[in-house]
């Protein structure tokens, strides 16, 4: 694979994965706020629906955000395996590392947020 094609592929994959990640993360944050507050568009929702939103909507968005970064990592690893220029290979490995580290951070953040949301839902059920 030529260096210019590899660089274009790295750029296209990284930017598209980044913007996809940002969009899906924004959706997850909005869904999380609705779960935590119990209000959607000014209308209160039931505790049962809040639980459904947490496990069906919010977790789906988190999985989508992680998938964007993992996709970026795998594509950049494949580019690194195909390119011969060492500088472009280093750039591809950098992109793969960013995707892998970002996905790990997203998973860890989601785990702590899930614990918090479950606590909020338990408090809502008790009170």
Paired with 43 in beta bridges are 40
Locate 10 and state its tokens.
């790295």
Structural domain harbouring 88: 3-126
User: So what's the pLDDT on residue 86?
Assistant: 92
Q: DSSP letter for 41, please.
A: T
The tally of domains found in the chain comes to 1
d(C-alpha 14, C-alpha 90), whole Å:
14
Phi first, then psi, for residue 45 (nearest 5°) are: -120, 160
User: So what's the pLDDT on residue 1?
Assistant: 79
Residue 127 pLDDT > 80, yes or no?
no
User: So what's the pLDDT on residue 124?
Assistant: 87
Smallest CA-to-CA distance from 89 within 97, 99, 77, 100 is with 77
d(C-alpha 35, C-alpha 6), whole Å:
42
Residue 68 pLDDT > 80, yes or no?
yes
d(C-alpha 14, C-alpha 109), whole Å:
21
User: So what's the pLDDT on residue 3?
Assistant: 87
Residue 44 pLDDT > 80, yes or no?
yes
User: So what's the pLDDT on residue 125?
Assistant: 84
Percent of the chain having pLDDT more than 90? 92
pLDDT digits (tens, 9 = 90+) for 74-87: 999 999 999 999 99
């Amino acid at each position: 694979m030529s260096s210019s094609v590899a660089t274009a592929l790295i750029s296209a994959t990284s930017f598209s994965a980044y913007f996809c990640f940002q969009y899906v993360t924004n959706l997850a944050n909005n869904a999380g706020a609705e779960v935590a507050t119990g209000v959607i568009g000014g209308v209160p929702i039931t505790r049962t629906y809040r639980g459904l939103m947490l496990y069906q909507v919010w977790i789906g968005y988190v999985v989508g955000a992680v998938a964007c970064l993992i996709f970026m990592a795998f594509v950049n690893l494949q580019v690194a395996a195909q390119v011969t220029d060492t500088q472009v290979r280093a750039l591809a490995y950098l992109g793969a590392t960013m995707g892998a580290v970002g996905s790990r951070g997203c998973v860890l953040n989601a785990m702590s947020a899930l614990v918090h949301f479950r606590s909020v839902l338990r408090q809502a059920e008790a009170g």
